[in-house]
Amino acid sequence: MDQGRIAELRDLPVPPARHLIDGAPVAASDGGEMEVRSPLNGAVLTRMAKGTRADADSAVAAARRAFDGGVWAGLAPSARKAVMLKWADLIERNALELAVLGVRENGTEIGMALKAEPMSAAATIRYYAESIDKLYGEIAPTAPGTLGLVHREPAGVVGAIVPWNFPLMIGAWKLGPALAAGCSVVLKPAETASLTLLRIAELALEAGLPDGVLNVVTGPGSDVGAAIAESMDVDVLVFTGSGPTGRRLLEASARSNLKRVYLELGGKSPNIVFADAPDLDEAVKVAANGIFRNAGQVCIAGSRLLVERSIHDTFVEKLAAFTETMKVGDPLDPGTACGAVNSQAQLERNLAFVEEARAQGRTIATGGSRILTETGGYFMAPTVVTGVQPDDRIVREEVFGPVLAVQAFDTEDEAVALANGTDYGLAAAVWTADLSRAHRMVRRIRAGLVHVNTYGGSDLTVPLGGVGQSGNGHDKSLHAFDKYLDLKTAWIKL
């Protein structure tokens, strides 16, 4: 990693950001702007357009014109593929600049950011580009004298609303398959993580994506997001974020054109360690990284640790000791293991969960406070809370910060009951040397992704999606195309 280049990039002024609509930068319709504050020091990084409903409507209209005009959907698959491959190359070529800009905006440690943001986005765009000319229709097994054909057609205009924790990675999970399918997109980034998505949209135009096919509107979800969700010209809505917002999007669909809505709403994922785990020290390290990297701001974060009682005290002691070796601080320092919390509001929310647990008599094994206040940034010590109970809010609700709740269990059945004792069902993990137990647990745990003797790291070949109140639909893998393609039957008499 070029630390000299990082040092150059970290202090570069960031010009004010505007929407990208119909291929051009556009100010908010009422001239409104909002501050973008860096979580590294609390200072204003830049300003960006504070979008309005009129701005969102303008972007949707551009996307509709582009789709109906066939400037993208009407191209040969090989032509769309060439543009997307060039786009992926441009993202990769600008990876370090994108990563540093993203770190300055949302606080992810640079080692993770470079891999998980621009490099991941480039790989995702490339994956779906390579898939474009490999999606076939079907011939139905009909009776003689008829021919049944099943066509796959782009669904139309897609509204995509993405969060602040990994904007490029999660954004690419939406943009890759949507654009590969031939759809046009209106993208609404989070208010605290818009800059890198605006930049890769500019790179898409440089790669040859036609005007209006990808539009980006920044601003409050209450205005921009709501307008996209309520639009009669948006055919599919995809969202990663909170449960309350997801519910409002479903209501907006019902009030408007009954657009399809696909939601990834986070989780409260259990990481289950049995006494026969093949390597307890490895389990400790992975458990810590599974919750504390990116300051716990990861959808699949292993925020609940379930440990078999016979090893509970030893495991917690090892975990606390390892956690205290993790370097918290400047996310642009390659040695940092846990970066900044995204915003002052999120930091205060994290601390409130810990204070409530403390008031309930739970034990703070390590961490539990704001640190590095002299920087002006939003930093929190990685926190391990033990002695929690199933009904505690810290066990049942997603904190989305570097806070780990630890529970003990005695039997496999109890572990399953604790693991499933949540409204969420996004991810989970099981540590055991017993192959039969591993398979049983995979089948019994209600989650869209279950790791065995690891946590995180699944690639694009497998889908990611949740059950319960973690949402519906899937990102990643070829299954993601299901959201952006319609099936059309042709029934032909011969």
The DSSP bridge partners found for residue 158 are 185, 236
Q: Name residue, tokens 């094994």.
A: 365
Question: Residue 186 is encoded by which pair of tokens?
Answer: 């209106």
Which residues, including other chains, have CB under 8 Å from residue 308's CB and lie 6 or more apart? 273, 274, 275, 408, 409, 410, 415
Q: Give the length of the chain.
A: 494
Quote the DSSP letter at residue 17. Answer: B
Tell me the β-bridge partners of 385. Answer: 364, 405
Burial 364-388 (b: 16+ CB within 10 A, else e): bbbbbeeeeeeeebbbbbbbbbbbb
Helical H segments across 237-392, by residue range? 243-255, 280-292, 309-323, 344-359
418 and 441 Cβ atoms separated by less than 8 Å: no
Beta-ladder partners of 429:
271, 451
From the number of C-beta atoms within 10 Å of its C-beta (0-12, 13-18, 19+), residue 307 rates as buried
Looking at beta carbons, which pairs linking 298-301 to residues 24 or more positions away fall under 8 Å? 298/165, 298/166, 298/456, 299/165, 299/240, 299/264, 299/266, 299/267, 299/426, 299/427, 300/267, 300/269, 300/426, 300/427, 300/449, 300/456, 300/464, 301/267, 301/269, 301/400
The string of DSSP letters for 421-460 reads -SS--SEEEEE-S-HHHHHHHHHHS--SEEEES--S---T
Please list the active-site residues: 264
In this structure, the dihedral spanned by the alpha carbons of residues 28, 29, 32 and 38, taken in order and rounded to 10 degrees, is: -10
CA triplet 54, 56, 60: central angle to 5 degrees? 115
Q: List beta partners, residue 383.
A: 403
